Structure 1
Amino acid sequence: MTDLRLFIDAFHFIRPAWLVLVPVIVVIWFFVRRRATRPAMELEGIAAHLRRALTVGGGKRRLVLPIDGAALALVLAALGAAGPTWSRVPDPFVAQTAPLVIVLKVTSSMEQEDLAPSRLERSKQKIRDLLELRAGGRTALIAYAGTAHSVVPMTEDPNVVQPYLEGLSPEVMPEDGDDAAAALELAQNDLAKENAPGGILFVTDAIETVDVSAIDAVEEASIAVLAMLPGGTNDRGIDSLGISVVRATPDDGDVRTLDRQLNAAYQRALTEEGTQPWDDRGWILGWPAALLALLWFRRGWTMRWSLFLALSMGIMPPAPAQAEGIADWFFTPDQQGRIAYQRKHFDQAAELFVDPIWKGEALSRDGQYSEAAKVLARLDTADAAFREGLAHVKGREYREGIAAFEEALKRDPDYPGAAENLETAKQILDYVETAREQSDTGEESGEGADDVVFDNEDARGADTQIQGADEEGGLLTAEQWMNTVDTDPGDFLRQRFAIEAARGQ
């Protein structure tokens, strides 16, 4: 679905009763203009040369009359008062971009240098550009060759994806091949866990024809392909797909196109099923109406009903913040903060916002979880306590998060999501404490490396240091490779993929 189609489907007026004024204004304009343009009556008894000398403006006729400007300004004011809208006010607690699973092909064919520096490196550049464009959007990364593997699960932080993306190369894949169907299945499993419709993006230089039907059959998610092929090069499988295929371009035009296409279904869901109020865009029409009103200062354009127009303009909804520099003259701090928030300048927005809910959300989106929790803790509503709990959990302060969720349920036992998040936070804390207990014997085995710090207020287990075991040959166990995350990402992924492939066999 295109942006234009979504705009057409969602467009409506919030206060349609004001539209009744439009035909009234048109009728008044018609009769007033007709009267103004009626030929002047011939005055008998006055000589023609005297009549011409005594007539002002009789030799020319203006195409635009004062009634035209006044009527147009009134129509604009009426349309603005009706509240045209085509989208909802963004929810500060809901990402405005769709969940996305990026599926990257990592094979020897992707190392060809016909797309400098190579198809694979160019693919990584495109993925980084997409992550930057989707700042704050939930994104997962899957790599595939002969087998498919989840590299990074759904995350809102692009910095988590970067090191693992750099570590991907054909050498880390257990088997060579092109099993796009297996990667598609993994991607669908990731999206099934999300609460909103998402998209799948294949970044590849080829699709096996046997996998074309499986990809085309996907209905529950938007799906697209970024073809990493130089100009003049085609692939039979990619050309056979019935979905959106975008070829890699030297600039970021391909990435922006894909982002719009994959985000369309999500935006429709937010518009149709969202609970946020509709975003009143009537202020847009207020500016041209105000400019037309300036014509009244010209001699001969002042009309007796200008007061009515001025009153109409006065009842129009106020315009949202759109200024910088001298913004303090016209807009409140919260309006200025809204501008910075929409531009994804979350640190600046946090400084500008006065409203504690918006301020807490901006701090959280900027990664300042502890500060966000402190701001939200000042409020005594269930919603604030729930948001405080989310901030604590994101900051790995699980015990504080549990207390905040319990407080939210105390204030409103039926608050949506509070009970579920409370149970999840308890499970995470129990897992952390259990991991500490199981690591008690690590000191005696000669292990020692990076410190691992856990929340341990319950004094379960002892403080230890963890490092992967040094084994000759064979595969590391899942617990052992989890302890080697401080190594090179490529080595880490090689070990992990090998374990997953062995288990699959």
Structure 2
Amino acid sequence: MPVIGLIWFFVRHRASRPVQETEGIASHLRKALTVGGRRKGHVLPIDGVALGLMLAALGAAGPTWSRMPDPFVAQTAPLVVALKVTSSMTDDDLAPTRLERAKQKIRDLLELRAGGRTALIAYAGSAHSVVPMTEDPGVVRPYLQGLTPDVMPKDGADAAAALELARSTLAKENSLGGILFVADSVDTADVNALGNIEGTSLALLAMLPEGVNDQGMDRLSIPVVRVTPDDDDVHTLEGTLNAAYERALTEEGSQPWDDRGWMLGWPAALLGLLWFRHGWTMRWSFLLALCIGMMPSPPAHAEGIADWFLTLDQQGRLAYQRKDYDRAAELFADPMWKGEALYRDGQYSEAAKVFARLDTADAAFHAGMAHLRGREYREGIAAFETALERDPNFPGAAENLETAKEILDYVETSREQSDTGEESGEGADDIVLDNEDARGADTQIQSGDEGELLTADQWMNTVDTDPGDFLRQRFAIEDATRQ
């Protein structure tokens, strides 16, 4: 900037001097017989050039005030939803009932969070974990539907017990999280417990109709959002619960800054257009244009107007910001960005293949993440081991390797526990699901009446399972164990 300022000063000072002597011309003829005299406020070509260069210099410095989202870091905080399941929640003043409306709101929140880690707790006289932390909302929905007051082992509304269980669930996470209570009332004895909480975002969705208040809710110091017919309540809760998490991500500094220099590039380019105005063309601009014209041009590949102005990676970035990840994956030429777009689009296997082409620790780590999301645990373990071989101190690789091993061990242990000891020879097919260690019995699909194998759908339809019955038995066992 100082160099540009000095050049501007000397060039303008020289250009502002009178170029001809007018002392010998009569004063009443001088104005008509001279051109280009010194005038205050006269704009010169060097003014536009200097301003354009200054904008370009500022843009090259990379001004920024926000960070770019990392597709491998959840953009929503881990959340524990504590649902009150009592007889009062079956009142029909909120159609169809308070409980059913609460379930609907929870499903809407799961869709809004788009893969954020969520756990579900049910409480009445005691609190019970329904679903542990999961990124798959499809796991939560059937258990959510099975929650009714008759599955709870105790009457009451112990919000403090639900809070303690929710905090212990969040303690296992690596980042700040939030707790959402969905209830129609709060016992005044639990008000202090809900108000004295630090390091966790806490909010309550009040399942009450208009004009109905609750004394306990009125005393709460946490945000209380009343249920609405539309999605305003859900969006408000998402923003409230996610605020602390977003601040933590910014303060942590692990996300790259979003360079906004392009915003200064546009006015600099518009100022450049003044060079074509008569009297504004700089003497050396013709030489610059000639040099640019003599440079070898890249092979033409324009398929649309966007290709005239933007590279494929820039177009891919725009599609990525629009959350059109499938289109972004097609456009990106950079393999890391291409893999990230495929990952965000749910094409985990394809993303892992793209990452595998690179020989960096970062690529191997991202390949491991893609394998885990695709439930390819053995491949994920191998990818994390590769990342540690390339960089033993790569952040998160060792922790994720241990997590992947625990998941695989859990899968194999579950297979062992489900071994029924049935004899073979019942017409089983050759389907084996990730049993390389030969642990447990392979799942057998029995034949139909005519000796044909049952399809997967037909076999699943023969399983009579009610989530409500399962939860009732599990909650009763948990409550008896506690006592």
Tell me which residue corresponds to 2:294.
Answer: none
Is the 1:385–1:408 Cα contact (8 Å) retained in structure 2? Answer: yes
Provide, for residues 44-91 of structure 1, a one-character-per-residue CA deviation record: whole Å limited to 9, x for no partner: 9878xx9999999xxxxx9x9999999987776565444332222222
Tell me which residue corresponds to 1:8.
Answer: none
Among candidates 252, 255, 272, match of residue 231 of structure 2: 252
Q: Per-residue deviation at 1:252?
A: 1.9
Distance 1:51 1:75 in 2: 38
Which structure 2 residues correspond to residues 364-383 of structure 1 after superposition, within 5 A?
364-383=343-362
Amino acid at match of 2:475: F
Among candidates 409, 422, 441, match of residue 388 of structure 2: 409
Provide, for residues 273-306 of structure 1, a one-character-per-residue CA deviation record: whole Å limited to 9, x for no partner: 1233311112224335545666777789x59799
Distance 1:207 1:452 in 2: 51
Amino acid at match of 1:157: D
Q: Per-residue deviation at 1:340?
A: 3.5
TM-score normalised by the chain length of structure 2: 0.75
Among candidates 189, 196, 201, match of residue 217 of structure 1: 196
Tell me which residue corresponds to 2:401.
Answer: 422
Provide, for residues 439-459 of structure 1, a one-character-per-residue CA deviation record: whole Å limited to 9, x for no partner: 444427xx999x996421122
Provide, for residues 324-344 of structure 1, a one-character-per-residue CA deviation record: whole Å limited to 9, x for no partner: 984433333333333333443
Among candidates 163, 187, 191, match of residue 184 of structure 1: 163
Is the 1:142–1:151 Cα contact (8 Å) retained in structure 2? Answer: yes
Q: 1:65 to 1:496 in 2, by over 3 A?
A: farther
1:139 correspondence with 2:115: no
Amino acid at match of 2:235: R
Distance 1:423 1:46 in 2: 93
Tell me which residue corresponds to 1:359.
Answer: 338
Q: Per-residue deviation at 1:194?
A: 1.3
Is the 1:443–1:465 Cα contact (8 Å) retained in structure 2? Answer: no
Provide, for residues 155-185 of structure 1, a one-character-per-residue CA deviation record: whole Å limited to 9, x for no partner: 2222222222222222322223211111111
Distance 1:496 1:215 in 2: 27
Tell me which residue corresponds to 1:94.
Answer: 73
Q: 1:411 to 1:440 in 2, by over 3 A?
A: same
Is the 2:225–2:237 Cα contact (8 Å) retained in structure 1? Answer: yes
Tell me, what secondary structure is at the counterpart of 1:85? coil
Distance 1:326 1:121 in 2: 51
1:389 correspondence with 2:357: no
1:492 correspondence with 2:470: yes
Which structure 2 residues correspond to residues 101-116 of structure 1 after superposition, within 5 A?
101-116=80-95
Is the 1:102–1:202 Cα contact (8 Å) retained in structure 2? Answer: yes
Tell me which residue corresponds to 2:479.
Answer: 501
Distance 2:148 2:360 in 1: 50
Distance 1:290 1:486 in 2: 68
Identity among equivalent pairs (%): 75
Q: 1:45 to 1:401 in 2, by over 3 A?
A: closer
Tell me which residue corresponds to 2:299.
Answer: none
Tell me which residue corresponds to 1:175.
Answer: 154
Q: Per-residue deviation at 1:398?
A: 2.6
Q: 1:232 to 1:329 in 2, by over 3 A?
A: farther
1:339 correspondence with 2:315: no
1:262 correspondence with 2:260: no
Q: 1:176 to 1:277 in 2, by over 3 A?
A: same
Tell me which residue corresponds to 1:7.
Answer: none
Is the 1:204–1:226 Cα contact (8 Å) retained in structure 2? Answer: yes
Q: Per-residue deviation at 1:94?
A: 0.9
Is the 1:442–1:464 Cα contact (8 Å) retained in structure 2? Answer: no
Find the structure with the greater CA-based Rg.
2
Distance 1:98 1:365 in 2: 17
Distance 2:468 2:47 in 1: 71
TM-score normalised by the chain length of structure 1: 0.72
Tell me which residue corresponds to 1:119.
Answer: 98
Which structure 2 residues correspond to residues 420-499 of structure 1 after superposition, within 5 A?
420-443=399-422, 454-464=433-443, 487-499=465-477
Gaps of 5+ in 2: 17-24, 36-40, 289-302, 446-461
Among candidates 159, 166, 175, match of residue 196 of structure 1: 175
C-alpha RMSD of matched pairs (Å)? 4.3
Q: 1:167 to 1:461 in 2, by over 3 A?
A: closer
Amino acid at match of 2:247: R
Is the 2:71–2:344 Cα contact (8 Å) retained in structure 1? Answer: no
Amino acid at match of 2:369: L
Is the 2:127–2:162 Cα contact (8 Å) retained in structure 1? Answer: yes
Tell me, what secondary structure is at the counterpart of 1:443? coil
Q: 1:402 to 1:493 in 2, by over 3 A?
A: same
> Structure 1 runs of 4+ off > 4 angstroms?
44-47, 50-56, 64-79, 288-300, 302-307
Q: Per-residue deviation at 1:218?
A: 0.9
Tell me, what secondary structure is at the counterpart of 2:470? helix
Q: Per-residue deviation at 1:362?
A: 3.1
Tell me, what secondary structure is at the counterpart of 2:359? coil
Distance 1:382 1:249 in 2: 48
Is the 1:73–1:293 Cα contact (8 Å) retained in structure 2? Answer: yes
Amino acid at match of 1:101: V
Distance 1:197 1:306 in 2: 58
Which structure 2 residues correspond to residues 278-289 of structure 1 after superposition, within 5 A?
278-288=257-267
Distance 1:121 1:54 in 2: 91
Distance 1:430 1:142 in 2: 26
Tell me, what secondary structure is at the counterpart of 1:127? helix
Is the 2:420–2:441 Cα contact (8 Å) retained in structure 1? Answer: no
Q: How many residues align?
A: 440
Tell me which residue corresponds to 1:399.
Answer: 378
Amino acid at match of 1:109: S
